Amino acid sequence: MQTIQQFPSWFSKQKPSGKVFIGCVGLLIFLCVCSIPITLLSPSTPKPENVLNTGLQTVESTSTPKSTNTPKPSNTPRPSPTPESGTMTHPYQIQEIAKLTHTYLGNVSEIDFQVVQVIRGQEANVAVKQANTFNDEPSQDMEYALIRVKVTLTKGTLKMNDNEIYVASNGQLFDAFTPLVCCIDEAGYPKFEANLILPNASTEGWIVRPVFINDLNPLVVLGVKSGNDISDAIFFATLYP
């Protein structure tokens, strides 16, 4: 308390520069003391949040429907390839035309060949016997088949006879000599033989061969090589479709 009472006398004794310094210090202390209650009494103002204004309106997004799983395509069955005509398992049918290349003694020609008509059984057996009484009866379990064939020349010249035409029945090959049938022309069935020199010329005729009774579809065979090689042969059906 005495210190405060002695302050005026002490202050008066100071030099002017000292008095100015002391006054500044006092003023500074006074301001600091006064700022404390102001700070305590002032309400705290919340700092504004940093808002980024993009200038774009917010659009509520609609939920995009998920794509459905497309079922895998089923395996579509492909059609089986058409078997080649003229084979043993898929012969040319009656009246179906086969376009062939014919070779005889070095002469090459192009022809259309087809089986036109087939007669077998009792009617054929009677015709063979009428043609010549010396013709053999068919063997047991067999009968004769009369087969009418037609050939048309498309290129070159053609010489062809019934000796080139075989018949397969129950796995056996029969040619014009097993058995030999004579004079079928006399029964009204002209024997097949072709001597053609002009394109589009054609001829028809009959061949006679034995076949097994239980064979419903004996096959006419062209292109049999020596030793009964049928590797390149062409086959024709005798059963009407």
Tell me the mean pLDDT in the region 72-89. Answer: 72
Q: pLDDT band for position 83 (50/70/90)?
A: confident
pLDDT value for 55: 40
74, pLDDT greater than 80: no
18, pLDDT greater than 80: no
pLDDT tens digits along 92-111: 999 999 999 999 888 999 99
**Has this prediction a pTM greater than 0.75?**
no
pLDDT value for 8: 58
Q: pLDDT band for position 241 (50/70/90)?
A: confident
**Weakest-pLDDT range from 88-97, 101-110, 190-199, 203-212:** 101-110
- Reported CATH class of domain 98-237: mainly beta
pLDDT value for 225: 93
Percentage above 70 pLDDT, the chain: 66
* Contact criterion met (CB below 8 Å) for 215 and 173: no
**Weakest-pLDDT range from 44-53, 77-86, 156-165, 166-175:** 44-53
> What is the arrangement of strands in the sheet containing 234-237, beginning at the earlier edge strand?
172-174, 165-169, 219-222, 234-237
Q: pLDDT band for position 76 (50/70/90)?
A: low
Q: pLDDT band for position 41 (50/70/90)?
A: very low
d(CA 185, CA 138): 19
Return the amino acid letter for 6.
Q
At 80, phi and psi to the nearest 5? -65, 145
Give the position of tokens 């006398």.
Answer: 9
* Contact criterion met (CB below 8 Å) for 109 and 102: yes
* Contact criterion met (CB below 8 Å) for 11 and 5: no
Tell me the mean pLDDT in the region 134-161. Answer: 96
Tell me the mean pLDDT in the region 52-67. Answer: 46
